[in-house]
Structure 1
Amino acid sequence: MSNLRDTASIEKAFQHAKDRYAALGVDVNVALKALESIPVSVHCWQGDDVQGFEHDSEKLGGGIAVTGNYIGKARSIDELRSDLEKAFSLLPGKHRLNLHAIYGEFIAPTDRNEIGPEHFQGWIDWARQQQVGLDFNPSFFSHENANDGFTLSHTDAGIRNFWVEHGIASRQIGEAFGAALETPCVTNFWVPDGFKDTPADRRAPRERLAASLDEIFAQELDPQRHLDAVECKLFGIGSESYVVGSHEFYLGYAISRNKLLCLDAGHFHPTEVISDKISSVMMYLPEILLHVSRGVRWDSDHVVTYSDELQAIAQEIVRGNYLDRVHVGLDFFDASINRVAAWVIGTQNMIKALLTALLEPTQQLKQLEIEGDYTSRLAMMEELKSMPFGAVWDYYCLSSGVPIGLEWLESVKQYENSVQKHRSNISETV
């Protein structure tokens, strides 16, 4: 942590930054207070390469691939929780944890359609102790009933019913999370169904998917405890030509069934961005879920960096006044670097982007636009890029009691040397 002289320097730089922003009509303290209220849902699967803790876990499938073999992969729930605690301890603010169904505590072999809240009681207890909320995802992949690439839209009614039962069970688990922790759990549905080559019938699988989802969502759940989200995708590994749950399919489904739409930053064409979609879908949906990721040429789920698109996503949330209607989650997995560091880097960047957006003189920018003064609008937008945002970020970390600058990296390296490097590295490059 910073010594007293560093603290004085940080506070001095912060005061200078406050003055600079005040000259633009921005109250930095108001921005920081707003930032403290925005939780980021951190995904559990970065810690163990999406393997989960089912008995006799299979290799990944269903359009998911993780590359890399860095030391220290979590091999048990206890190790995963230890890594998560380390990551959360280095992040300013209070956040959430996003779990997949394959991360339950299964003492005996339990198939996906048999899971229940009892298999996640340990996570509820842990979340209560850590003071974090929980979100959830059914796992429609890496299972013998998904080997041909189809689940909820399968032609076999028995297989469809198996996955419907899994979806219903997942909602019950999510509701239990929300009830126990007194904060709504967002349960997000993504299914990998699709064809590698051109299909002869695009309609029937979508009709079957809609019918299966309607079965899953038949029971109304208290929105104070539980929220449903559905996630679209353009293509995946093994479904390059056709994905049943396309953007248009799920947009229509979410609007007609009053569900959250999940926009994943890697699930569209490389030239598309989800920042441009937020204001459109928010016109017709009360709430949405974001899976913030970084695709490199394809949906490759790289660690989130402080990119133009990340900043644009945060700007749209703030400029549109959507902070209470957008649920921000992360979705990436990188086994080529320290997994805890990947969590910290990606989550920090999401928080930084939100802070940058909150430090904009939004109303002034909008007024200039209304007046047609695009010259001043552009000049102000460009001036904001060189404002002392870093000084505000350092102060936020200082006031939150977390490391400043790259101090967090030294903490992760010490954790790697004392804890992670002693784990048997049984992971394989997939």
Structure 2
Amino acid sequence: MRLHRAWIVSGVALVAIMGAAGFRATPGVMINPFREEFGWSSGTISLAVSVSLVLYGVTAPFAAALMDRFGMRRVVAAALLLIAAGSGLTVWMTASWQLIALWGVLVGLGTGSMALVFAATLTDRWFVRRKGLVMGVLTAGGATGQLIFLPVLAALTESSGWRTASVVVSLSALAVVPFVWFLLRDSPEEIGLTAYGTDVPIERTPRAGAAGHALRTLREASRHRGFWYLAIGFFVCGASTNGLIGTHFIPAAHDHGMPEQAAAGLLAVIGIFDVAGTILSGWLTDRFDPAKLLVVYYALRGLSLLVFPTLLASGNPPSATSPGIILFIVLYGLDWVATVPPTVALCAKLFGPAGPIVFGWVFASHMIGAAAAAFAAGLVKDTLGTYDLAWYTAALLCLLAAALSTSLRTPTQKAPTPDEKALTDA
């Protein structure tokens, strides 16, 4: 049986998404080297990370609209070139504003254009069946990128300096460009095929004015209560993952005496379990109410964060192999971005064809939450000398997100009348 081209296209997308996640997560291993070399405070470095996270999120809906207008291949290739430029130029950096301009702006714009809206757009165009599973695999690609890059970059930073790590990121981004350009296609109809799971071609008309289309979609979606429940939940999701754990786990563990490489290894282990958790979440999303899944995911995350400060303080220094730390890493990994497949599914159910762009705006709230948490946690550390307040605040926000998710309602299909049922049976 011949392999459907949708699987090849999704494989290329997986490579690009893996790279984007690894590139975006890199500052987490560079906070301490920046502090030591330049004397910058945690708050100053966290500001650059926050700018990157905001642009990573805010770019997403516009990137989705640009993909609708110009195609995924052009947008993703341009994004990879931005990442390569932003990372490569940091080797000549001498001032904190340059860190903000390069890692914050250029890398933020590049990774934002390859964010999860890319996965949502591809899944919407290339798949009719297995959407939840494919979205879960592509989302898990982000964790895989983190898994591959973080330990390597931490080792490079420690042995050869952060500049070597930045050059590796730049060259890696450039290496992905040919795969995207020559193997990625914008839709199955472009090459005379149909989406996986259907024999009916879908006619797509590119929309002029990508920015206007994205903003109009936001205006329409914002009138729907479900949009705000999803956006607030994803704000908390970003705050408790990329913003807090993704940015500050390594320096927080280091403050308690854990070696940076050991902490980076634990963050990578989160990535291992994230792969399993997100793929499982995609499978569950195809079979269960996605709103109920969100309630469970957010509640488990909140409970995990409540005990995390105690785990860090349990040893002097804390052991990377202690049962409590390992249990936290496993649970947090399984839950890291398990929220994505049910959120994408809810956007599709609530907003129909506009679902990918609506998800782009929901994802923007995710990264705004991540940026807020990254910056706020840095200020908490500078002011109080500890991250504890940041962990507890994030835990309470996760429990709030779980409560809000109980109010999500999706349209239900109208039951057929007896005459309609008889006609169908006939």
Do the structures match in fold with TM over 0.5? no
Q: Which has the higher helix share?
A: 2
Q: TM-score, normalised by structure 2?
A: 0.25
Q: Which has the higher strand share?
A: 1
Q: TM-score, normalised by structure 1?
A: 0.25
